Structure 1
Amino acid sequence: MIEHGPGMPWAVAHATAGDLARPLPAERTTPDAAIGRILAVPLRAAVAVPAFDTAAMDGYAITGPGPWRVVGRRLAGPGEPVDPLLGGTAIEIGTGAAVPPTTEAVLPYEDSTRHGDLVSGEPRRPHIRRTGEDLRPGDLLADAGRPVTATMAAAAVQAGVEELHTHRPPAVTLFVTGDEVITSGQPGPGQVRDSFTGLVSAVTARAGGHLLRSTRLPDDPAALADALGRPGAEVVVVSGSSSAGAADHLHRVLTALDATWHVRGVACRPGHPQGLAELPGGRWVVSLPGNPYAGLVAALTLLEPLLAALAGRAAAPPVTAVVTGEARLYAAGVRIVPVTGTRIRPGARPGSLHTAAAADSLAVLSAAWRSGDPAPRLVLP
């Protein structure tokens, strides 16, 4: 028997999706492959930075009082070990090159005067980066739970880190149900194009997961049960088949599979028939209503926070901002409307995406909302 009623409050459903799942286990990756993932353990330096005493300017490595007699030249890059400098001597040196032992300072070209092999000048600063002055082995680069940015990955490489431990990104399988759905070409009478695959792929990627595959299924409970029963991705998304019509089989199939419902309907318009269930063994099922705009609402309400939690991302409530304009409010829950800037875009309907396509976010309006009040905002993918 399918349960009917107003459904779970929207804010509770959104929070539930983010609170239920635990981050997936850690795996080792190279720094570049870790970009976009979440650190599972603290990131620490493996070597000193700098790894050797190095010149911070182009000029002359000097020691003792001047003027100094130039006895050699050294540029950045590997080379033979350099003998210690004797008092009153110098070598011409390039930025990034290892300074000889006993070097007291690097005299920049612009602060120096050279005549033949003699150079003179007044060093204003040492201009030497000493071994380990930025990092020493074991120093903390980033705490667990931080997202790996390109800058962090580059810093890890600089600090000699060859492997990072990050949470495995959750894999998603999408089943697009409906005899009327086609995946290519112009739809004919009684047909509609699949508009879910691109949306689910984008939401999944933004939350830190990846879409393994999208498969169209007919309105057949046996086909749906067979698809849900196969092992595979951590998260299964089903578009359509979520309501109470003759072609809506998902609730009955999940009941037969002994699934546990965590969200079974949400008190919102559009998107009321959405749901979140857990199969025996721990795989998650997210139910998206078949109407595209309603399905988009459900993807942002349940799918994105669930995937973010599995990816190890810290839960965060939606950003709240002022919303202006007119909306037909929903007395039993929230109305979710497209917004550009602060202004509501009129004309949104559950089955159409064109109004949302011209917006930059969706605003979640309570029954008590009035124009100019703040409301939670969901950024559109």
Structure 2
Amino acid sequence: MRKLESARITRPQGAAMTVDTHAGASVEFDDARSSAYRLGTAGAADSLRTIPVDGRPDPVRYVLARRTVAAGRVPSADVAAMDGFAVAGPSPWTLVGTSLAGDDPEVPQLEPGQACLIATGAVVPAGTDAVVRHEDIDGDWPPTGTVVNPRGTPRRRNIRRAGEEIEPGSAIGEPGDPVHAALRGLAAAAGLDELCVRQPPRMALIATGTELTSSGPAAPGRVRDSITPILRQLVPGAGAEVISAERVPDDADLLAERLGAAIDSADVVVTSGMASRGPTDHVRSVLAGLGARPVVSGVRVRPGGPASLALFGRGSGSVPVVSLPGNPLAAVVGFHTLVLPLVRGLVGAALPALAAAVLHGAPEPHPHSSTVVPVEFDDDGRLSPTGWHRSAQLRGLARQGLLAVLAPAGRESGATVRLLRQD
């Protein structure tokens, strides 16, 4: 096996992925998420990269690597919060000039009884007491000569003071914060040109099964691979980069060869299919033969129970391998249970909290396992099951991309559920 160390993320000197193992027994949904996340944080990378603030859309959801501070103040000067008139002293005011955004005021200083026409975002002249909205002014538009506000100087000053939102050196982001659109905009406003982010983990995908096809309608007895397209969409949002995706038939020797190659070249490997204990479910035995140590051997969740997590290698070169079931809805549940928490830990981000919601028409919970069902909001904001909830069915999930997690019977009151989102 050829090591591609230069392509890997690097971990702090001496850092090792410690195994918080649940080998041999299925664990609860939340325990599985926590175990995957802890495994990721134990092997979090210290490889960094810089990305431009004003660049193309990101190929992955980056995460800040360090505290990010502003270079400039926002606003950069005292500016008008709306179109109107910068005024000094009580009404009436004599109109003496104009101030437009991007230009210096025609009149740098207002004396009591003076006003200047001003645009939103324009610098207010020194001596300005307030900005009066143009719709509050008596008389014709555009005004000439004298400006009168029958209500006098407004109590609301309508001025954004220099630095009221951001001062130079103030923090605008912390390590582990996701780099989303608003953070990019804030960084640009604060005068930054680049952001320092964590290097995304490199992920290899292996879809298993002789029955899989990759194009066109499936012939009788064959199945179109729908899991790989799902993972290609979900993985970048988690913060990892897909570097390869391949299909392997039901052949244990070939699977061992391809798994070994993937482990050599990637930071994380995710397989789909062959995850249970059927006659052609080779993943567990092949991983054991390669020396992988089980971390999570199964999850008490329906669907998605056969999902598992193992660790190949030792020390800073360890590679996690997540095995997902071969049915697509079950694979999505497995992704949220093990892959997403693992990746968030690897990039130093927080384990995503699951929002609570009230589910109407909730199915009967299982006595010992969490139940995950596709759900949707109607026009009145009511959350209900879609009706398509079998492990091989994607039709329900495709409606709004929402899954509800129901706790085992007796764990929670009423129909309160937690939501998994596919964005």
State the TM-score, normalized to the length of structure 2: 0.71
2:35 to 8, 13, 16: 16
Residue 405 of structure 2 is matched in structure 1 by: 363
1:304 to 317, 340, 353: 340
1:194 to 225, 228, 238: 225
Residue ranges of structure 1 left out of the alignment (5+ in a row): none
2:52 to 30, 34, 57: 30
Deviations 1:214-257 (A, max 9, x none): 21112233432333333433221101122334433322332233
State which drifts further: 282-291 or 94-103: 94-103
| % identical aligned pairs | 35
CA contact (8 A) 1:107 1:121 kept: no
Residue 46 of structure 1 is matched in structure 2 by: 71
Residue 254 of structure 2 is matched in structure 1 by: 223
Residue 259 of structure 1 is matched in structure 2 by: 292
CA contact (8 A) 1:326 1:371 kept: no
Change in Cα spacing, 1:124 to 1:369, as seen in structure 2 (3 Å) is closer
Q: Distance in 2 between matches of 1:352 and 1:20?
A: 31
State which drifts further: 341-350 or 192-201: 341-350
Q: Distance in 2 between matches of 1:24 and 1:269?
A: 32
1:150 to 181, 186, 203: 181
Pairs within 5 Å for 1:61-72:
none
Determine if the alignment matches structure 1 residue 288 to structure 2 residue 324: yes
Q: Distance in 2 between matches of 1:51 and 1:351?
A: 56
Q: Distance in 2 between matches of 1:116 and 1:307?
A: 61
Residue 199 of structure 2 is matched in structure 1 by: 168
CA contact (8 A) 2:89 2:114 kept: no
Deviations 1:109-167 (A, max 9, x none): 55488999854657715655443343321123344433334233222211212222333
Change in Cα spacing, 1:155 to 1:116, as seen in structure 2 (3 Å) is closer
Q: CA deviation at 1:172?
A: 2.7
CA contact (8 A) 1:322 1:373 kept: yes
Q: Distance in 1 between matches of 2:90 and 2:387?
A: 79
Q: CA deviation at 1:353?
A: 3.9
Change in Cα spacing, 1:252 to 1:51, as seen in structure 2 (3 Å) is same
Figure out how many residues of one structure are paired with residues of the other and give that number. Answer: 377
Change in Cα spacing, 1:214 to 1:118, as seen in structure 2 (3 Å) is same
Change in Cα spacing, 1:172 to 1:101, as seen in structure 2 (3 Å) is same
CA contact (8 A) 2:53 2:188 kept: yes
CA contact (8 A) 2:23 2:295 kept: no
1:124 to 145, 148, 153: 153
Q: Distance in 2 between matches of 1:91 and 1:170?
A: 58
Change in Cα spacing, 1:328 to 1:150, as seen in structure 2 (3 Å) is closer
Q: Distance in 2 between matches of 1:363 and 1:56?
A: 45
Determine if the alignment matches structure 1 residue 314 to structure 2 residue 350: yes
2:216 to 178, 185, 193: 185
CA contact (8 A) 1:266 1:274 kept: yes
Residue ranges of structure 2 left out of the alignment (5+ in a row): 1-21, 377-381
Residue 76 of structure 1 is matched in structure 2 by: 101
Deviations 1:180-209 (A, max 9, x none): 111112222331110211222333244333
> Amino acid of the residue matched to residue 50 of structure 2?
R
Q: Is the radius of gyration larger for structure 1 or structure 2?
A: 1
Q: Distance in 2 between matches of 1:63 and 1:32?
A: 39
CA contact (8 A) 2:88 2:114 kept: yes
Q: CA deviation at 1:41?
A: 2.6
Secondary structure of residue in 2 paired with 1:307? helix
Q: Distance in 2 between matches of 1:336 and 1:184?
A: 29
CA contact (8 A) 2:110 2:126 kept: no
State the TM-score, normalized to the length of structure 1: 0.78
Residue 250 of structure 1 is matched in structure 2 by: 283
> Amino acid of the residue matched to residue 296 of structure 1?
V
Q: CA deviation at 1:290?
A: 1.9
Q: CA deviation at 1:277?
A: 1.3
Change in Cα spacing, 1:344 to 1:330, as seen in structure 2 (3 Å) is farther
Change in Cα spacing, 1:277 to 1:61, as seen in structure 2 (3 Å) is same
Q: CA deviation at 1:264?
A: 1.5
Change in Cα spacing, 1:69 to 1:347, as seen in structure 2 (3 Å) is closer
CA contact (8 A) 1:67 1:88 kept: no
Q: Distance in 2 between matches of 1:351 and 1:116?
A: 69
Deviations 1:10-41 (A, max 9, x none): 33222211222124444322335587533333
State which drifts further: 24-33 or 174-183: 24-33
Residue 274 of structure 1 is matched in structure 2 by: 307
